[in-house]
Each structure stands twice: as structure tokens, then as C-alpha cells.
Structure 1
Amino acid sequence: MNVSVPSDKSTWRVSPFLLLAVAVIACLSVLLINGGPLYYYDTGSYIRQGNVALNTFLPTINEGGDAAGGIRADQDSTATGSRSLIYGIVMAIFFRASALTAISFFHLASVLLAVWLLARAANKSLEESRNTTLLTAVPLLIAAITSLPFYIAYMMPDIFAPVLLIVIAVLTAFGRSMQVWELLLLTALAVFSVISHPSHLAIAGLMVPFVILAALSVKTPGRWRAVMLVLMILAIAVVERKAFQIAVETRTDKEVVYTPHITARLIVDGPGMDYLDEVCPNEDVPTCALHEALSWSDDPYRLTVSHIIFERSPRLGSFRLMTAEDRKNVALAQRDFAKAVFLSRPIATTLALAENGYRQILRDSIWMTIPTEQALDNARHLARLDDDEQNLIQGGLLSKDRGWIEAVDILHGTVYAASFVTIVVLLLIPRSVSRDIKLFALFILIGIAVNALVCGGVSQPADRYGARVMWLLPFTAAFLLVVRWSAAPRVVTERDL
């Protein structure tokens, strides 16, 4: 005869769903308090390129006659590929329905799907069952104390960076035992996450060696499943980029180029500027044109990545002041330039990359998600809103007084530090949780570091890039604790009695 240890069945069944409802509300708290979504100055570019793409598929709808194949075409022979066409189309669809707020629910649904699949997979790997709803709700509720609600409400694709990290960690830790439909859902979610922003493709690529190492560390059947799926996700993303390039070049007779963030980063860090000082002037080195443009002003503040890439004033500008042909050549040459700089100064370049990654790890404020009036004006301008459409992009309550941001950052920083310590302690304590659970937590930490390396090294250290993934720390810490403390009641047998 088996006897179950007494438990409050009604509490066990009802409480997790109540917690899940509270967690959902907490995740939407910023959207609700603000009275609408949060906008970035570049939000309008996504809306615009999405509208252009929709015009290509729906030519009867006229949004200004710019049919650039789904991208924002410059007034020269190039078109930018630095934004996601797919995310732009999603945003444009909701924009045309005057329902940009619905994008926040799309973000939330993506997070919930990733976390629910994590909870299912983790539960199956445990000797003692847990409540899947509880495993989903509690970590999300704790994460909602920090930056998660801000990125749920943020009209940018940043939320898909942490979603991607969760998916890769789940595939690595639990993919061996997951069902086919679960793997398909995770793969689809990862594909969308990767193609939603170019930096996500780089993050996924850098995670591959770690996934391979994890497969080599075990001898169980299916250990290569995660490797194959992540490589497939990368392959699909690369094909999407190539198809995008072919479509643009075929339909617009323009060449797709990517904003030269890598070039600007290397110059600002020093190795790139030292290399250019050494080889320029040289007609065989296209980046020498940018080197010359940087000498047009002696203002030291022009040597920041954002000023090099975007500034148009004579005092701070450089790249945008060059001829269209020179801009194109500099953008197309950034890979060759990065290779040449590294080969000529490998130690200095590596140290600069590591320093930027470290600086990025330390930046986790949510202030960049709160739009200024200038950012809102820029978003409206880039979206090319008519006068009667200006009210579609509004700042909301949180933009009116930014004095609260410092206190929130202190709270978030405290939670992040405590969460990191909790994760490390549980990873080090023998048998604190199962090996697979520890592997998941370790991959979240690796993913946060890779995100810092990509964003800090390729672009520039910025709070926006750090805060978008830092909520994974309290999320993971809470997940570990729930797994450790919420085992189902043990079944007692006659022998035990």
C-alpha cells in the first residue's frame, strides 16, 4: 500500500495559476503604468521599412511610393541591412491597425512560451515532479521586479536576445529528452529571435562552441541534438539574410550594406586609428576616406561610435559627411578592415574587445528604454507620420519625470548582484540541483557574457544592451530555488512505515 504525505491539494492546484496571473500583470506593469509602449528613436525606422515591405506585397496601399524591397533605401546606390525586415513587418502590421500596444503582448507571449517550454523540459528531467505552472510563474514574477517589464513594453526587438539565450540554454540542457513538437516550437522561436536583429545572429554564432563543448561532456543518446538544432537555426538566419540581399538588389538595383559599427568601434578603441595612421593615405584602403573625414574637425568628442556613425554636424560628424560612394566603400570594407587591424595589432585589439565586454557587463540601467521628447520626434520623423498620425507615438507617464530612474537602477542592481551570487553558490554546491539544471544556469551566465562581448565589442557599451538580458539573473536564480524547494510530496510505502 502506498500513502501520500498529506498536502493542501486546493492550494497546490489554484495557487500556481494565481501566481501566473500576477506574474503576467507584473510583466505588463510598465506598459500599464506608462499608459502605452516605450519608444526608441530608431523605432520609426522599423515601422517605415515594414510599411515599405508591405507596400511591396500590397501595392494598392500607398505609403509614400517608396518601394525599396522592405528596407530604408538611401538616396544613393546602397540600402541598409542593419535592421530586421521581419520585425519591421510585424511592427508595421500593428501600426497600420493603430495597435502598437499589441506588440507588447507579442513580446510577452514569446517570453511566456520560452519559459513554459523550459519548465516542461526541466520538470521531465527531475526525479521528483514540480508544478510546471509554478516553475513558469515564480521566476517570471521575480524577473518582473527588474528590467523585464521595460523590455516587454519596448518597441524594439531587444526582448528577443534573452529569449534566444533561454532557448539555446534549454536545448543544450534538456534537448536530449524533449519531444519533437517541443523542439519544433523552440526552434521556431529561436529562428525569429535570431532574425529580429543582426546582433542576435552574432550571439547565436558565438554560443555554438559552448554548445559543442556541452555535447562532448556527456555520453547520453541525443547529445548532439542541440548542436544540430542551433546550427540549423544559424543556417536559416543566414539564408534569410541572403534572400533579403538578393531581393533588395533585384528589386531596387541597390547594394545592401551594413552600418560600419565594427569599423567605428576599432577606431574609437585605438587599434583601428593606429592602423589608419600608419597606412593612410592609401587608395587601396577604403577606410582611409573615413580617416580623412575624422581630421576635418579637432573636437575630441567626434571620436565616439555614435558620432562617427550618425552625426551630421561639421563639428562632430565624419562618416555622414562623406560622399555616398565613400560611405558605401567604407561600409563594404569593414570586414576586411577588422581583419587587417587584428592581424597588425592582435593583442591590442583583443584587449580592447575584452575591455568593452567588461564595460558592457557593468551597464544595466533601463534609462535608454524611457524616451525623451527628442527620441519621440525622431521616431515620428523616421516613421514618416502624417499630422493626424502623430498621436500614434506618445511618450506616456514615465517620460514626464525621469527622476525615478536612479532609484529603480539601484533596486535593479541590488537584485542582479544578489541573484548572481545565488546562482554561483548553487552551481558550486554539490547536488544542490541536478546536473541538467546547473547546465541551464551556466549557459544563461555564458549567454549574458556573450551578449556583452557582441554588443560592447561590435557596437559600443550601452545600458540598453545590458539591461535587456540582466533580468535573466533573477529569473535564473528564482528558477534554481523553485526547483530546489518545490518538490512534490514524496510517496511513502509500507516499507517506510
Structure 2
Amino acid sequence: MSDSTATTTARLRVGSVAIPSVATIAIPLLLLAPALWNGYPLLQYDTGGYLARWYEGYLVPSRSTVFGLYLHFGEPWQFWTNLAMQAVATLWVLWTTLRVFGVTTHFRRLAIGLTLIATTALPWLASMLLTDIFAGLSVLTLVLLVAFSERTSWLEKLLLFAFTAFAAATHTGTFGVLLGLCLAALLFKPFLGARLSWAGIARGFAAVAVSAAMLLAANFALSGKLAWTPGGAGVTFGRMLQDGIVARYLNDHCDQVKLKLCPYRNELPATADDFLWGNSMFNTLGRFEGMDDEMRFIAVNALKAYPLWQAKAALIATLQQLTQVATGEGTNGWLPHTYGIIERYLPDQARAMRNARQQHWDINFAAVNTVHVPVALGSMLLLLTILGHATWRRRLDDVTLLAGTVALALLGNAFICGVVSGPHDRYGARMVWLSTFVVLIVVARWFAARERFRPQGLFARKASTPSL
């Protein structure tokens, strides 16, 4: 072997070791770059409600006790252990998915990871004390668990199952999306044949069932009540209020039914957020404890009274939610409830929290979204193009199955969040990065296919030329 050949071989060996080593260290650090720059984990409107579950011992609407316990275990280290677990979990899910879908070169994996970090909400989700990072990742783990488990080891199957179950228990919206995907798998099984096994579908349903048991157990342990996380009726009522349906129902029925809101029917706030979380009559009437039964009554009966209006409002809300994908909603310097919870229950962290850049309004999400929003919307269009091309070619391969699952997840997320809670950018941003990920997988596989069929240099071209 010549010196030059030996040198080249040595460089290739060093590169084959260096790239995965760099990726293993660099990707998690870059995923946590927003929090590291901030000086403290990023906070959001809802963070305080989750943190308080351990201390307050009662159930609060839309605040999972499972996620509250997860945060509690990271309190001694100012939650940096939580962020570290989120970053490592993100790296593991991304790398496992890329391996399963044939993106095996370390350079391409690193390139995909860096592209996601630079152009999507992924690092902001990983750097935040919120359930949102688990929403998108759990779609990928469910896909691997249900449709591609034969390409994973028994340990990976166990981890995929555990992660999916935990993620579903952290937020009712995530639970609904994953349950919907399992039902879709059951529905499409006759058409997909061997691509979906009954055992895989059973694993998906089992993971969702375990998540439900996990949530019920956590609720019972912390509150003494064997109950689901409350708040569904109130949140749905808020969306109907925002659409004008509640005001119409009160005007049409207050002469027949005595309701607490009747005297306020001409003073209702314009948005659900103003009603539920602002200084509205909702506070005067006892908030969820005093209004839950009435909000449920109005929501159910308004659905019966105005079915066409409700259907139109649901369609509009779903379409609006699909387009609301900006990063950073609710992550700013005005979070009085979250600040209050930290100062009350974690006073030793109050100074670090108050000194963080977020609390000084130093995060410019407008600049961030000049990149994130076009990439998100463009990726969804490309996702539809991938599915359209596969349909036209009548070809169902692995990537098409993944693309179809992600499309269903985005649609299901938009329907659940848009119809129940009303459209919010936060709900879109936590899932839409999946479409960018699928597009990057397609691009990587295209380059790999070109390389397989490309002649390797001058000698390959000469060898392929027939002699005369």
C-alpha cells in the first residue's frame, strides 16, 4: 500500500469516527442553545401550572400531573436535567428514525440535524419546560413501534413503547393525536396489507392504554381522585365563545334557562384567552370550580342547537390551525403566574429565573419566524407533493407511509387543537417540524440513490465502455 493510499485510508477512518462523535455532542448542545443563551430553561404561560401540581395536590384543567412529576424530579438542578433528557431523547428519536429509513451516512444525519436546528422550532421546544417537545417526537416513535418494529432491537422496542406512553400522558392533545393515528392504522389495515401487522397495531394501542393508566395513577397519587385531567369542557366552551356561538346561545335561551352567564351575555370577551385567563366575569363566577358544569351544559347544548354553524366553525378552526405555525407563542417576558409559582415554591431559583434573558424581553421571535414560518409552510406543501407523487405513481414505500402518517398527525393536531382550544401558533409549531424532517429524509435518500447509480470516476467510465 502506498503512503498516499495509507494516508487517505487513515483520514477516512478518522472521519468515520469524528463525525458521529461530533454529532453526538454537538446536536444536543445546539438543541439546548436557546436555553444556554438564555441562562435558564425557557418558560411559557403554562409552565407554572405544571410545576405546581406536585405542591398544590389538586387537578387543574389541561395540566398533566405526569408532566408535573417529570418537572419536579429536575428541580434540584434548576431543570437542566429535564432539558438534557429532552435533547438526548430528541437525538435518539431522530437518529433511530433516520437509520430505519435508510439514511445511514453520518454526514447526512449530521446535515439533517443541523438543518432542523437552524430552520425549525425544534431547539426552542427542546429548551423549554413544556410538553410540546414530546408531541412531535411521539409521532415518530409510534410510527417506528407500529410499522417498522422489525428494524429495531428488543431494547429499542421497549424504549419506543415507554417513550410513546409517557409522551401521550403529558398532554391530552398529544394523547388524542396518537390515539387517532392508532385508529387510522386499524382503518387502513385492509388497504395496506402486510405493511401493517396486527401485532404492530396492538403495540400502538397498548402504548396509548398504558399512557392513560399512567395519567390516572398520577392524578390519583397527587389529588386522591381517580379522574382524567379536567378542562375539556371549559376549553371547548372558550372556542365557542370566540366564534360567537355562546353569545347566540345565551340570547336564544336565557329566557328559558337560568344560567350564571345570562346577565353578562352582552359583555363577553372577544377571545377565549381573555375569558379564561384574563380579568373577566369568569373570575367573578368562580372560575372552573364555579363554572365547569355550566360551561359543559352550554357547550353540549350549543352543539345540538347549531350543528351546521359548529361544523363550519370547526372546519375554519382546523384550516386556521394548519397555517398558524410561528415559533415562540407564550414565551416572552410577561408570565406572572409561572413567575409566581417559581418564587413561591422554588425561591432559591427565583434570582436565576429573573436574570434570564427571556425575563428581560431579549428574545426576538419576529426575526426567528422570518425563517421558521416559510420553512414550515413550504415543508407542508412539499409533504403534500410527496404524497401526491406517490399516489400518481401508485407506489407505497416506506417514506410514503411515513409522510402519510405525518400528514394525518398534522391534520389531527390541527383538528383537536383548533376545534377544542381554538387556533394558536404554539400548537402548530410543536408538530410542523415533522414535515421538514420528512422532506429532508426524501432529499437524503434521493442523493443516496444518485450515488449508487453514478459511475465511480474515470476508470469506471472506461470500464463501462465496450471495446471495438
1:306 pairs with 2:273: yes
Quick one: structure 1 residues 442 and 42, their matched pair in 2 at CA, closer, same or farther if it must change by over 3 Å? same
Alignment of 1:92-171 (within 5 A): 92-95=72-75, 97-123=76-102, 130-131=103-104, 133=106, 136-145=109-118, 146-171=120-145
Tell me the SS of whatever aligns to 1:80: coil
Q: Which residue of 2 aligns with 1:236?
A: 210
Q: Which residue of 1 aligns with 2:197?
A: 223
Question: Do the aligned partners of 2:186 and 2:201 also contact (CA within 8 Å) in 1?
Answer: yes
What is the aligned partner in structure 2 of residue 322 from structure 1? 285
Equivalent pairs: percent with the same residue? Answer: 19
Alpha carbons 1:432, 1:484 under 8 Å: kept = no
More helix by share: 2
Structure 2 Cα separation of the partners of residues 334 and 407 of structure 1: 39
TM-score, length-scaled by structure 2: 0.82
Q: How has the CA–CA distance of structure 1 residues 337 and 110 changed in structure 2, closer, same or farther, with 3 Å as cutoff?
A: farther
Query: Is structure 2 residue 52 aligned with structure 1 residue 48?
Result: yes
Equivalent residue runs for 1:351-362 within 5 Å: 351-362=312-323
Retained in 1: the 8 A contact 2:179–2:208? yes
Q: Aligned AA for 2:253?
A: V
Find out whether 1:444 has 2:417 as its counterpart.
Answer: no
Q: Which structure exhibits the higher relative contact order, with contacts defined as CA atoms closer than 8 Å and separated by 6 or more residues?
A: 1
Deviations 1:471-490 (A, max 9, x none): 22222211221123235868
List per-residue Cα deviations over 1:444-469 (Å, max 9, x = no partner): 12212221222221112122222122
Distance 1:484 1:293, change over 3 A: farther
The 3 A distance-change label for structure 1 pair 393 and 403 is closer
Give the drift of 1:225: 3.0
Matched residue count: 443
How do residues 43-442 of structure 1 correspond to structure 2 at under 5 angstroms?
43-50=47-54, 52=55, 68=57, 71=58, 79-95=59-75, 97-123=76-102, 130-131=103-104, 133=106, 136-145=109-118, 146-175=120-149, 178-220=152-194, 223-247=197-221, 250=224, 257-258=230-231, 260-280=234-254, 288-289=259-260, 291-292=261-262, 294-295=264-265, 298=267, 302-312=269-279, 317-323=280-286, 327-328=288-289, 330-332=291-293, 337-368=298-329, 370-372=331-333, 374-375=334-335, 377-383=336-342, 384-385=344-345, 388-394=348-354, 396-397=356-357, 400=360, 402=362, 404-429=364-389, 435-442=397-404
Q: How many angstroms does 1:153 deviate by?
A: 0.8
Conserved 8 A contact 1:416-1:470: yes
CA contact (8 A) 1:38 1:371 kept: no
Q: How much does 1:340 deviate?
A: 2.9
Change (3 A) 1:233 1:81: farther
CA distance 1:455–1:13, shift in 2 (3 Å): same
RMSD: 3.5
2:310 maps to a residue whose letter is T
In the TM superposition, residue 222 of structure 1 has moved relative to its aligned partner by 5.6
Quote the residue 1:461 is aligned against.
423
Q: 1:320 & 1:281 partners in 2: Cα distance? A: 24
How far apart, in 2, do the equivalents of 1:18 and 1:247 lie?
Answer: 42
SS in 1 for 2:316: helix
Equivalent position amino acid for 2:276 in 1: I
> Unaligned 5+ residue runs, structure 1?
1-5, 53-65, 72-78, 124-129
Q: Following TM superposition, by how much is the alpha carbon of 1:333 offset from its aligned partner in structure 2, in angstroms?
A: 5.9
For the 8 Å contact 1:175–1:226, the answer to whether it is kept is: yes
C-alpha deviations, 1:397-447, integer Å up to 9, x for none? Answer: 355455732222111122223433443334444589971111112211221
Change over 3 Å in CA distance of 1:182–1:135 after alignment to 2: farther
Structure 1 residues 61-113: Cα deviation after superposition (integer angstroms, max 9, x where no partner): xxxxx5x2xx3xxxxxxx42521112111212211x14222221121122122
